[in-house]
Structure 1
Amino acid sequence: MNQVNNSYGLDVHPLRDSLYAELHSRPFQVLPSPARVSYLAVILRPEQKKAEFEHFCALYQYFTGTPPEEDGACIEVDFGHCKIRRDKHLEFTSYIITHGQVDSSLGFFDQNALSCLPVDWLSAIPGAVIAAFHIAIEDARTIPEPDLALVKSHFEGMRLVGSRPQNGDAQVWTSFQLHSDGCGRFLIYNKNMSDSQLGRMVQRVIEIETYRLMALLALPMARKYNAELVAMDQELANTTASLSDATETLDEQALLGELIEMAAWVEATRAKTSFRFSATRAYHELVLKCLAELKEDEVSGHLTITEFMTRRLTPAVRTCNTAGNHLESLSTRIDRVSDMMRTQVEMSIQSQNQQLLTSMDRRSKIQLAMQHTVEGLSVAAISYYSVGLLKFLIEAVYDKGVSFDKSLVIGLSVPLVVGSVWFATRKIHKRFLLLAKAKEGG
């Protein structure tokens, strides 16, 4: 229903306001330098989503705030000592916790934003955490570039991936590994970025790390089913070979049973994997988009984030795509073999029907010959009884004094009676044939 809500008195589409709001539902953050950011991504089952929102509202009780009345796609709240942003996604809910009061006497990751939240609240978050990492942001606009040995010391000696995103306006270091606290780490030096630019770049880094983990969720599934698909391929090949072997006697019912079992397994596997494989492709595309937006330059001697993702993530996604394509191919091939099997069964049935019709035709001819024989015998029998009756009539006339040769008359009546009976039988036979043809034509 249209509504009037403007100074011109125009009829406005009821969805217009929500369409405008959609573009601004997830605004980029504005981050200062230095700052500490922690990130959590929690995968939720459908029945956990309401409990997760209630748990988020419970956080307001710790900091004497007023919780929101309704859930939303993005909720941002400033508790003074930290800011929390909660984003709802299709499969997970994310928390970005920002702490702007940095103690320079502590190490980059000795002070993190998760420490701003109650421990008992964190441990009770519904769902399963898929991504958890800390981001240390340092202001390098007035100081020289960091020493590599110093950077490496903050990552517990792990091999680093480094780049200069936004055409060198920042420097990003990470290991893409979990550290002793069970979280990942990113170290970002702001060289020449405003708070808004820094917020957008950090958001891209967060999305890259989150989406690459979500994309990899399908990899164990793909590896598991790839091994089973190889065995299923061989089984289908053996079935196809038995169909093409003319010298082998086929148990068609058993083969059809095997094909039904294979088709059922493939369809059940497709139902289990279709969403996950499709999600992997979608997350991979998002990762590639965010990588392109980083506009990276190299740090001498280190892989950039794009190079690292291209080498590690892309092959994993291809493995998932291969498993999905293999399932589709196997399903198609099973359908073709089933069609072949049905065709062969139909041909066998047609051959049996042909033999049955031939046998029925032979039996019909025999029955017709027997019918003609029976008709001949019937004419003889009817004629015999008719002559006997006629004999009684002739003798009665003779006994009344009519003079004639009784034997001659009886003898002459025999061919006349036989001819009459034969003629009447043929007339009846023809009449039935005409009635049968009339019914077939009708």
Structure 2
Amino acid sequence: MNSAANPYGLTMHEQRDALYAELHSRPFHVIQSPARISYLAVMVDVARKQADFEHFCELYRYFDKTPPSQDSVCLEADFGDLRVRRETHLEFVSYTVVNQGQPFLDDPFANTGLSRLPKDWLQTLGGTVVSAFHVAIEDAANQPEPELAQVKSYFEGMRLVGSQPQNGDAQVWTTFKIHSDGCGRMLIYNRGMSNSQLGRIVQRLIEVESYRLLALLGLPLARFYNQHLAQMDQQLVDLTQQLSASSGELDEQAVLEKIIDMAAWVESARAATTFRFSATVAYHDLVLKRLNELKEDEVSGHLTITEFMTRRLTPAVRTSKATGEHLENLSRRIDRVSDMMRTRVDMTIQSQNQHLLASMDRRSKIQLAMQHTVEGLSVAAISYYSIGLIKYLIEAAYEKGVPIDKSLAVGLAVPLVIGSVWWATRRIHKRFLKLAKEQMDIGEGEH
């Protein structure tokens, strides 16, 4: 919104309207009693959400309504006494079907929200359903609440969980189990709540049931990886003891391969579980928040919803959280063992380098001694051949009549030649040493 769109001439943030709308994107239901409600939570990936939206638009065409032009986080279709709300979440899409048509049968679960939807539409719904249950709402002011035995018959004889939320303004019965139709069931008797209050209670109960199932998705992963974590711990202990107890030869290559295999397994496990375990903790927090908002009173002889959830759900969530922490701890321990192994390998390499340098130093000294020997032999050989050449020169000069003593001249030439050859050889040797030192100084300067 720019300054021209408000009377104060203020420049508004471009996302201000979207931020305001976000708080109203998922409004509470407004439900009259009696009503029959069905809820579905369908796991879909990002690629299938558009196809799911198009499938939702088919409902509009079935009821001769105009479908929406684009998807949204919350879409609600009003088909008279039937309302269908579709909400998109991070990893699932939910459908809440509110059926307020009359008349309702004596069995509160004989006529549900799903019974008003086309069967072929339900059968072609994409994704996988993780949560599916029915909520039957009765008005206690117009219909007396039945005896406990009658209520139990509605839930096929299963053990009931009872609750009186909102300080007794409603009576809720459920089992948190799957019934013969493949869905869960909740029965609510409205004792004095308004339509808005009833809608909020229903929304919270729906979220408690759906989020607790989504939170439990991490439990099978935790159980699977817990079977292997004890073995990995023992392998790591064995490797650590092997490193600490080994004072002699150690097959470092084999140990490194084991460490790499363990690190690869742990990182693969973390990649497969991090999102799921984080989602488990987030869903559990939402469940606890919704339970607190119910403000339950106890029904004599029955567990409340909060008691049931905290007793059964919380340990499962803790198992997932503990498994995730175990994987993180194992990863850190493997890193420390890997550092120890790298330090050991570095020390071994340094020791080998020291032995190699000492061996090279000994060879250099031998080569230097040999070089001095060769230099001495070279001086003798060069001097010998040089004196031979000088002797030829002296004899040639003597034959030409130069008055010299050949033996004396040759004798005097011997020390002069040897001294000259030795001096020239030392000069050349010193020159090469100087060049080598200059090259070493240049290399150290570059580093």
TM-score band by shorter chain is over 0.9
Partner residue in 1 for 2:304 = 304
Contact 1:39 1:131 in 2 (8 A): yes
CA contact (8 A) 2:137 2:190 kept: yes
- Measure the CA separation in 1 of the matches of 2:406 and 2:7: 133
Question: Quick check: 22-31 or 101-110, which moved more?
Answer: 101-110
Distance across 1 between alignment mates of 2:210 and 2:333? 37
Question: Does residue 19 in structure 1 map to residue 19 in structure 2?
Answer: yes
Equivalent in the alignment of 2:172: 172
Measure, in 2, the Cα distance between the counterparts of 1:197 and 1:138.
14
TM-score w.r.t. the length of structure 2 is: 0.92
Gaps of 5+ in 2: 443-447
What is residue 336 of structure 1 aligned with on the other side?
Answer: 336
1:206 is matched with 206
Do the aligned partners of 2:174 and 2:187 also contact (CA within 8 Å) in 1? yes
Partner of 2:249: 249
- CA offsets per residue over residues 79-125 of structure 1, 9 Å max, x none? 12312212111111111111223536522222222211122222221
Equivalent residues of 1:35, 1:98 under 8 A apart = yes
Contact 1:81 1:116 in 2 (8 A): no
C-alpha displacement at 1:3, in angstroms?
6.0
List per-residue Cα deviations over 1:253-305 (Å, max 9, x = no partner): 22222222222222222222111111111111110110111111111121111
Q: How does 1:210-249 map to 2 (within 5 A)?
A: 210-247=210-247, 249=249
CA displacement 1:135-165 (0-9 Å, x = unmatched): 1112224776643222222111111111111
2:375 aligned partner:
375
Identify the range of structure 1 (78-87 vs 426-435) with the bigger mean alpha-carbon deviation. Answer: 426-435
Residue 423 of structure 1 and its aligned partner are, at CA, apart by 2.8
Give % identity: 67
Gap regions ≥5 residues in structure 1: none
Tell me the distance in 2 between the aligned counterparts of 1:394 and 1:55: 119
- 1:353 matched to 2:353? The reply is yes
Distance 1:411 1:215, change over 3 A: same
Deviation at 1:310, TM superposition (A): 0.6
Aligned to 1:160: 160
Query: Offset of 1:314 from its aligned partner?
Result: 0.6
Change (3 A) 1:402 1:53: closer
Match of 1:365? 365
- Residues matched between the structures, number: 442
Give the partner amino acid of 1:370: M
CA contact (8 A) 1:161 1:175 kept: yes
Deviates more, 1:377-386 or 1:159-168: 377-386
After TM superposition, give the deviation of residue 327 of structure 1 in Å.
1.5
1:190-233 deviations in Å (ceiling 9; x for gaps): 22211111110110000000000111111111111111222222
CA–CA separation in structure 2 for the residues paired with 1:394 and 1:88: 115
User: Structure 1-normalised TM-score?
Assistant: 0.93
Q: Which amino acid aligns with 2:286?
A: L
Alignment of 1:274-313 (within 5 A): 274-313=274-313
Rounded to whole Å, the distance in 2 between the matches of 1:109 and 1:306 is 24
Give SS of 1:12's match: coil
Residue 30 of structure 1 aligns with which residue?
30
Partner of 1:413: 413
Structure 1 residue 399: deviation in Å? 4.3
User: 1:131/1:431 Cα in 2 relative to 1: closer, same or farther (>3 Å)?
Assistant: closer
- Equivalence for 2:386: 386
1:331 CA displacement: 1.6
Q: Distance in 1 between matches of 2:51 and 2:181?
A: 27
Report the Cα offset of residue 402 of structure 1.
Answer: 5.8
- Alpha-carbon displacement from aligned partner over 1:372-391 (angstroms, at most 9, x marks no partner): 11111122222222332333
AA paired with 2:324?
G
> What letter corresponds to residue 274 of structure 2 in structure 1?
S
Please state whether the residue corresponding to 1:97 is helix, strand or coil. Answer: strand
Gap change, CA 1:364 and 1:209, over 3 Å in 2? same
User: Residues of 2 paired with 1:106 and 1:209: CA distance?
Assistant: 25
Whether the 8 Å CA contact 1:109–1:136 is kept in 2: the answer is yes
Matched position secondary structure for 2:189: strand
Residues 399-433 of structure 1 deviation map (CA, whole Å, 9 limit, x = unaligned): 45566654344334333332333233223323333
Match of 2:445 in 1: none
Pairing of 1:24-103 with structure 2 (within 5 A): 24-103=24-103
Find the residue that maps to 1:4 and give its secondary structure: helix
Counterpart AA for 1:208: V
Give the conservation status (yes or no) of the 8 Å contact 2:60–2:77: no
2:2 is matched with which residue?
Answer: 2
